[in-house]
A and B are shown apart, each in its own frame.
Chain A
Amino acid sequence: NAGVTQTPKFQVLKTGQSMTLQCAQDMNHEYMSWYRQDPGMGLRLIHYSVGAGITDQGEVPNGYNVSRSTTEDFPLRLLSAAPSQTSVYFCASSSDSYLSGANVLTFGAGSRLTVL
């Protein structure tokens, strides 16, 4: 049981380049989300999705795009990378079960992105 899989684990970009961070889960979770983790800032929500075809913005969405064409996948796109986007990115998912274990997130191992 793989859980939440993120790729790549490490990436270096130049300012202005684009890339996609991949996230896939095999638990049939309806809810998926992307966080960024920065020193002294904790985790901040970028975008989230409550099901295929539905996405919404979190706390820090600027500079990022997402889509959710399937239940399993939730890619995060950086269209024009900036040094301020240097961070560790985590994808997380959750079952849509508000009555039991609500809000328990399963995290991927993270993707470390450096923008030069």
Chain B
Amino acid sequence: GDSVTQMEGPVTLSEEAFLTINCTYTATGYPSLFWYVQYPGEGLQLLLKATKADDKGSNKGFEATYRKETTSFHLEKGSVQVSDSAVYFCALGFLNRDDKIIFGKGTRLHILP
């Protein structure tokens, strides 16, 4: 079945470090791919998305490129801040699929000042 696998956390980095959170997927067909972020005590919110192969989603300094050949959608940021500390979820979804989105298990990120 369709699934999303992301690197286990927690990931701990110092402020201004480079961030990569790996995400790979298994899917029949051509899904859209998403990164959602959950700040402490809050619900998830969309961080970025890509709807087809080679698309790059970007927001708040974060980027991810839809790689069909490696079935990956890795999240990157060049210089993280303490305020980026959160849980990050990779997800996939299909157009016209009512059961909507399949989420990965989440990666907790801690940024140290």
Contact = CB atoms under 8 A, between A and B. Distances in A.
Interface of A: 4, 31, 33, 35, 40-43, 45, 48, 50, 56, 58, 90, 92, 94, 98, 101-110
A42 B101 CA distance: 12
Given A42-B89, A42-B106, A4 B43 contact: yes
24 contacts: A31-B100, A42-B103, A42-B104, A42-B106, A43-B44, A43-B103, A45-B100, A48-B99, A48-B100, A50-B98, A58-B99, A90-B44, A92-B43, A94-B100, A102-B32, A103-B34, A103-B93, A104-B49, A105-B36, A105-B44, A107-B43, A107-B45, A109-B41, A109-B43
A105 B100 contact: yes
Nearest to A43: B103
Nearest to B33: A103
Interface of B: 32, 34, 36, 41-46, 49, 51, 89, 93-96, 98-101, 103-106
Candidate in B43, B89, B98 with the most chain A CB atoms within 10 angstroms: B43
